[in-house]
Amino acid sequence: MARAGVFRTPHGDIETPVFVPVATQAAVKALPPKDLKEMGVSVILANTYHLHLRPGEKIIKKLGGLHKFMAWNGPIITDSGGFQVFSLGFGLEQGVGKIAKIFPGEKKNKKIKGVNCGRKNFVKIDDDGATFISHLDGSLHRLTPEKSIEIQRNLGADIVLAFDECTSPLADYKYTKKSMERTHRWALRCLSVAKTRNLQALFGIVQGGAFKDLREESAKFISSLPFDGIAIGGSFGKFKKDMHRVLEWTIPLLPEEKPRHLLGIGGIEDFFECVDRGIDMFDCAAPTREARNGALMIRQGRLNILNSAYKTDKKPIEKNCQCYTCQNFSRAYLRHLFLAKEILAYQLATIHNICFVHNLVRKIRQSILDGKFQKFKKEFLKK
């Protein structure tokens, strides 16, 4: 089911399959926009939750929107904030513990059923939205489908995501079903307020955890609505094979003419396996996070630059790599920078990882156009 396409936005075309670097706080960590442009990166993803808390969407709008604020003239995607509400606040309803009073008056670091419920971790999800306490300063915030769309509109992204509830892999069937139905109601509310959007594409999100009937129900429901694209989110189970099954249940039920975005997935094997199952777009913070920890992507897997074996190694990170780092610096030099804790280490490592992933997905796209995807997949994964 691998396919190649083009999604047009006011700030340029997105050729798919495509990897979308994560610019959580309006910046891809350690990289200026010019480096991304030089690599050929076409689209980035910014974070609604974080930008709402700091510096605030109204400030960004006043300064010309995200594109001018971060000096990026290409397409921008913003998530809805749903995942961050879950991951940073931890949904206490989801089989982990329950609290009746979670706001001012609760003692800091109070533990309930073994779960650390310090004020910075408090969140309450209800049918109308989510109330949470900022991890930055403890201030109280409310996020609803309408508020999420309003924030994303002010940020000025080209593609915005509907507000959803992201469930934990630990959530049982009963809660996952309840959460999915809530996400569906929120999808309708997002559409109702997004009708007046100005050239912003709105993607709906399929939920349902690792349960076949729920994934199929959600895929059918979201596909029946007038979204411009479909994202697939939530828990994909505990193993890669679980994620593959989720995609095999979901994708055949999605409209062929709309792009499909797999949220938060970006492993090397994932690109091949998920494109093979019909995915068009990926976003993931792993390449930049791994770079800052000295894990560099190569065709054979990962290279730990901190290993003493590279102390006097004159070779680049990857032979034949055209990135700025590999064209100019040795493994020995990069190892030295990491051990010396030089900031340049993070920049050079991130340049390589983003360039590696971008070029790999671009090659995957070309192999689809050439009718050689299966051959390319087999040869690459064999190594």
Active-site residue set: 79, 283
210 to each of 21, 48, 65, 129, 165, how far by Cα in Å?
26, 26, 37, 23, 15
Collapsing DSSP states into helix, strand and coil, what is residue 46? strand
CA angle, 171 then 177 then 182, to 5°: 105
Does residue 283 contact residue 259 with C-beta atoms inside 8 Å? Answer: no
Closest by Cα among 260, 229, 259 to 247: 260
Q: Which two tokens stand for residue 335?
A: 């190892």
Collapsing DSSP states into helix, strand and coil, what is residue 208? coil
- Residue 143 to residue 151: CA distance in whole angstroms: 10
- Residue 305 to residue 74: CA distance in whole angstroms: 32
Backbone angles phi, psi at 212, to 5 degrees: -60, -50
Does residue 95 contact residue 115 with C-beta atoms inside 8 Å? Answer: no
Does residue 204 contact residue 225 with C-beta atoms inside 8 Å? Answer: yes
